[in-house]
Amino acid sequence: MKIIVDAFGGDNAPGEILLGCAQARKELGVDLVLTGDREKLLGCAKELGLETDLAGMEILDCPGVLTMEDEPTAVLKEKADSSMALGLRALAEGKGDAFASAGNSGALVVGATMIVKRIKGVKRVAFAPLLPKSQGFFMLSDGGASVDCRPEMLLQFGLMGAAYMRDVMGVENPRVGLVNVGTESHKGDELRHQAYELLRQRKDLNFIGNVEARDIPYDGCDVAVTDGFTGNVMLKLFEGVAMALMDKFKGVFSQSLKNKLAAAAVYGDLKKLKKSLDYNEYGGAPIMGAAKPVFKIHGSAKASTVKSALRLTRDYAQSGFVDKIAQAVKPQGERQDG
Amino acid sequence: MKIIVDAFGGDNAPGEILLGCAQARKELGVDLVLTGDREKLLGCAKELGLETDLAGMEILDCPGVLTMEDEPTAVLKEKADSSMALGLRALAEGKGDAFASAGNSGALVVGATMIVKRIKGVKRVAFAPLLPKSQGFFMLSDGGASVDCRPEMLLQFGLMGAAYMRDVMGVENPRVGLVNVGTESHKGDELRHQAYELLRQRKDLNFIGNVEARDIPYDGCDVAVTDGFTGNVMLKLFEGVAMALMDKFKGVFSQSLKNKLAAAAVYGDLKKLKKSLDYNEYGGAPIMGAAKPVFKIHGSAKASTVKSALRLTRDYAQSGFVDKIAQAVKPQGERQDG
């Protein structure tokens, strides 16, 4: 298993990426190919005492870096010499089994679509993060790759999401819900009406109907299907509300000596809670629908998160997920496995 | 000031509605008109010892109740004899200055639009709840009244929201943001692009551009403008995430004796925090754009929340908001106040 990693993507590149890669190589049994400026990488490895580790990895040398400020389409043009663009091309050319980057999500979606290309039959790729619910995690599909959607795209987001949750995450018979403004089948706009009908007709999908956003954090479904606009707003609101609330709690606990003492008493348990809410546990999210595994690592990932992401990237590649998706998105009658 | 109240709307009607009305009448200096089954109301008042209070209110007698299970359009047809429908007609006929109901939101939106009618020039009404942010509250406009929107509707949601925050809530020069998947002006779908341009052109609006949902709980804006589909998903996700997180905290604090003692120490401060997050503080949300003030009380409201809602309904009616909206939604050149 050979994973190509964008060594210059993300807030903490290249240091934390390199550290994470060094850990992943030792613990996960994967070969790594780094893309980016060779001289800078060597210098960074020297600084961190990772020279031997880096010596065990392949480097694809390139000068450029695609930043968060770049337009997504820059990955195809102005920044075609960047570590992200080179990694995507290397994946497309078969120089590795998967590609992972903590860089600009928009550019990664464009690159996955235009350079790696989509699986035959997939209309749009989906960025599919996992978010905490009362028990475990649910997948948001699409979390922001495709802002303008047609009903058949939402169907595919559901099919791909269910396949991922089953084959990569090990969730049995994942429950797929359509995010809507009410649970009744007639709720929502025209896009939802048509998507509902398409989802309902798929006998190979455990479609549980419409789900309200209020119920999703309470284990309302395993895959929350929505268009990329709504999904991206949901993803960011989820993050914003959780962070703001955690900050308010912190404020209470540092208000007085008495409160600080109380905080100290529950510190360990609160830390566990924070960890259970931490969507960094999975390190990132797949760009589902690309013809080869492309994985988005969290932009702010540090070494341990990079390693977690690479574990999931490995599982993703090993699962044969891409073939399963090609199978899953076929019209119902054409499927080989029924 | 005479407020018409749907005595049979909401989860706790008529008891808590009646209790809340009795308090409001004493404390807020308003006259109240209740709609609903007179016999049942008299019986309920007797049970609660509110006979004298009820004697001071007018009753518009009608047999029916519109429930949460009814279709929104039932308010016009099958349930035209309901306490909600009668209240809306009474408002339209000038039997009071405002109407408040804790019943079915969808039906209230339909009734506000079709029975009370819209202000001349207003294309769609907006359901506009206030949600907590790091400091104070922000308005979500539209929170679910209009799921299919055109750009000029989003402009009006912004204009109405700004007027409400200024004239009813006393926020100086309210910052209006367009909910989007990124802050740059080119972000989002076609609806957002066009709405952005319309909002930008209004010199009489403090439009601060696109806002990301992540930043809204951190005081990102005073009025978050969005289509009713996205807005309703946001409203419910906000609620779901906050409640799920509070539950997790509660779980930590009841885990062990040590944790219970710690919880006891910070109990008062946590309760204050909970109150600061409680969007029930405002008791509900206006249906902005209706030709006369229509106010939605929270469905689960108890007496004190009903009273808060009636205070806001009174302020809403007193502010002359409806005339201001009529003025605000005029094309820029036609405005009298510039």
Q: Nearest CA of chain B to the CA of A259: how many Å?
A: 6
Which residues 250-309 in chain B show a CB within 8 A of chain A?
A: 251-253, 255-256, 258-259, 261-263, 265-266, 269-270, 273, 276-277
pLDDT grade, residue A338 (50/70/90)? very low
pLDDT at A332 exceeding the cut of 90: no
**So what's the pLDDT on residue B247?**
84
Which residues of B are less than 8 Å from A262 in CB distance?
Answer: 261-263, 265-266
Task: Report whether A290 contacts A113 (CB < 8 A).
Answer: yes
Listed by number, the residues of chain B in 146-165 with a beta carbon closer than 8 Å to a beta carbon of chain A are 147-148
Token output for B237: 């996700």
Instruction: Give the number of other Cβ atoms within 10 Å of residue B137's Cβ.
Output: 18
Give residue for tokens 């190979």: A204
On whether any CB of chain B is under 8 Å from the CB of A134, the answer is yes
Dihedral sign, Cα of residue A143, residue A149, residue A154, residue A156: negative
pLDDT digits 0-9 by tens, A89-147: 999 999 999 999 999 999 999 999 999 999 999 999 999 999 989 888 999 999 999 99
**ipTM of the modeled complex:** 0.90
CA pair distance A81, A64, nearest whole angstrom: 5
**Contact state of A244 with B217 under an 8 Å Cβ cutoff:** yes
pLDDT level of residue A278 (50, 70, 90 thresholds)? low
Per residue in A214-244, pLDDT tens? 999 999 999 999 999 999 999 999 989 988 8
List chain B pLDDT tens, one digit each, 338 residues.
Answer: 999 999 999 999 999 999 999 999 999 999 999 999 999 999 999 999 999 999 999 999 999 999 988 999 999 999 999 999 999 999 999 999 999 999 999 999 999 999 999 999 999 999 999 998 888 899 999 999 999 999 999 999 999 999 999 998 999 999 999 999 999 888 899 999 999 999 999 999 999 999 999 999 999 999 999 999 999 999 999 989 988 888 888 888 888 888 888 878 887 887 777 777 666 667 889 999 999 999 999 998 999 999 999 999 999 999 888 888 888 888 776 655 43
The runs of H, that is alpha helices, within chain A are: 15-28, 38-48, 51-55, 83-92, 105-111, 151-167, 190-201, 228-253, 257-277, 303-318, 321-328
pLDDT of residue A334: 65
Q: Do A269 and B263 touch (CB under 8 A)?
A: no
Confidence band for A249, pLDDT divided at 50, 70 and 90: confident
For Cα atoms B203, B209, B212, give the angle at the middle one, nearest 5 degrees: 155
- Beta carbons of A252 and B239 less than 8 Å apart: no
SS3 string, A40-79, reads: HHHHHHHHHCCHHHHHCCEEEECCECCCCCCCHHHHCCCC
Any chain A CB within 8 A of the CB of B68? no
Instruction: Give the model's pLDDT for residue A243.
Output: 87
The verdict on a CB contact (< 8 Å) between A273 and B212 is: no
Q: Which of A134, A237, A271 to mutate to test the interface with B (most CBs of B within 10 A)?
A: A237
Residue A245 with chain B: CB contacts under 8 Å:
241-242, 245-246, 277
Write out the H or E segment, with its range, that includes residue B320: none
What is residue A188's predicted lDDT score, i.e. its pLDDT? 92
Chain B touched by A213 (CB under 8 Å): yes
Is the predicted pLDDT of residue A253 greater than 60, yes or no? yes
| pLDDT greater than 50 at residue A181 | yes
Q: A336 pLDDT exceeds 70?
A: no
More confident residue, A252 or A8: A8
Q: Which of A179, A226, A265 sits opposite B262 (nearest CB)?
A: A265
- CB-CB under 8 Å, B244 with A217: yes
Interface touch B181/A229, C-beta < 8 Å? yes
